[in-house]
Structure 1
Amino acid sequence: MPQATTDVRERVVNAAERCFARYGVAKTTVEDIAAAAGLSRATVYRSFAGGRDEVILEVLLRDLRRFLDRLAGRLGAQSSVPDGIVEGVIDAVAFVRGEPRVAALLTPEAAGHTQTAVAGAAQSVLRLCADRVRPYFAAAQREGLLRADITVEGAVEFLFRIISSMIVLPGDGDPRDFLRTYVVPALTESD
């Protein structure tokens, strides 16, 4: 992508973040974003052919990349694959709950407001997460720590579904106990 296009896209995403903080995701319009970026609507649409939904998705993916960078550092400090799974899920739940923009796109009530963005976000989020954990996943499978018959894409989707359910239905007690009892055995090799 040419540098000028990248710079404009970055301006639009930065402006969208400010607008989402000010008006909320559901109420922010392309006109709001264009005005905050100091650009015309036409320029926004030239940079984001998918319009508002594509801008929303790009903001979400940027937030997610930041989270995954922090998570990678934290997971590297975990002493075992099961601990990494448990703490990674706990961190992801806390991240979504703590980031209103992300929560607005990945929770059920978002579907009524930004259905297209949510559908695109889910696939993009899964793909981004799978790409980020692929090296760790492959190493754990080579060492016999993860089941050999599962794929990184399937494992990420499974964990995404677990994370989503934990956001919607927090449950009682320590979620780590639930994760260790039910989720870790579904992914790891048994002794």
Structure 2
Amino acid sequence: MPPATTDTTRERIIDAAEECFARFGVAKTTVEDIAAAAKLSRATVYRSVTGGRDELILAVVVRDLSRFLDRLAERLRTERSVSEAVVEGTLDAVTYVREQPAVAAFLVPEAAGHMQAAVAQGAEHVLAMCCDYVRPHFEQAQRLRMLRADIEVEGTVEFLFRIITSLIVMDRDRDAAGLRRFLRTYVVPVVTGPEPGEGATAPAAPRSR
């Protein structure tokens, strides 16, 4: 039987790391745990992943993020308006992280230090990857004047991810309908500007009888 390729071995290790992080938590998972779950020696793990556990943390995050962004890109292609794309994309992201133990494990307090150390090394890569997924949709929306002309993709992605993170960390028990109302009222106008017909004059209040 031919030996496993480097890429195959690395994927096997990342699979094992994802399983261990979900089972034991990021802070308590060791390289030995990951090697055992992958049925590989610790030396093989270190040869395949030279950055050790921090590199594996980032690898798991990036792979999960890629899966989500694939689905988000498909969702953006089907949404009829930028406003709904922002609302539904944000809602999807919040729901996804809350429901994925492997991702949610990185957000618990005990994991925060490890997560920050790992992601700090690849933050620009992660941001660039997110921007690459949404850039075509944002650029098209700007050409169609459905998006503010003065905003940049990178800044918009950072803004939306900060919103997503805050919604995950500070859950105010809003249901999906309440979260959609919040996003349409406070987040969408920042990205799209006023809806057509808004801004110049406010609708007249109904006269009292």
Q: TM-score, normalised by structure 2?
A: 0.82
- In the alignment, structure 1 residue 9 sits paired with structure 2 residue 10: yes
- In the alignment, structure 1 residue 103 sits paired with structure 2 residue 107: no
Partner AA of 2:16 in structure 1: A
C-alpha spacing 1:107/1:182, structure 2 compared with 1 (3 Å): farther
- In the alignment, structure 1 residue 131 sits paired with structure 2 residue 123: no
Unaligned runs of 5+ in 2: 197-209
Describe the SS at the equivalent of 2:40: coil
- Give CA deviations for 1:166-190 in whole Å, capped at 9, x if unaligned: 1122235401111111111111143
CA contact (8 A) 1:145 1:188 kept: yes
- In the alignment, structure 1 residue 61 sits paired with structure 2 residue 65: no
Q: Identity over the aligned pairs, expressed in percent? A: 64
Partner of 2:189: 185
Q: Report the structure, 1 or 2, having the larger helix content.
A: 1
Describe the SS at the equivalent of 2:106: helix
Describe the SS at the equivalent of 1:171: coil
1:131-170 matches, cutoff 5 A: 131-170=132-171
Partner of 1:19: 20
CA contact (8 A) 1:105 1:117 kept: no
Count of aligned residue pairs for this structure pair: 189
CA contact (8 A) 2:19 2:102 kept: no
Residue 147 of structure 1: CA displacement?
A: 1.2
Partner AA of 1:59 in structure 2: V
Describe the SS at the equivalent of 2:53: helix
Residue 96 of structure 1: CA displacement?
A: 0.9
Q: Matched residues in 1 for 2:105 and 2:5: separation?
A: 30
Partner AA of 1:131 in structure 2: D
Partner AA of 1:101 in structure 2: A
Partner AA of 1:37 in structure 2: A
- Aligned-CA RMSD value: 2.0
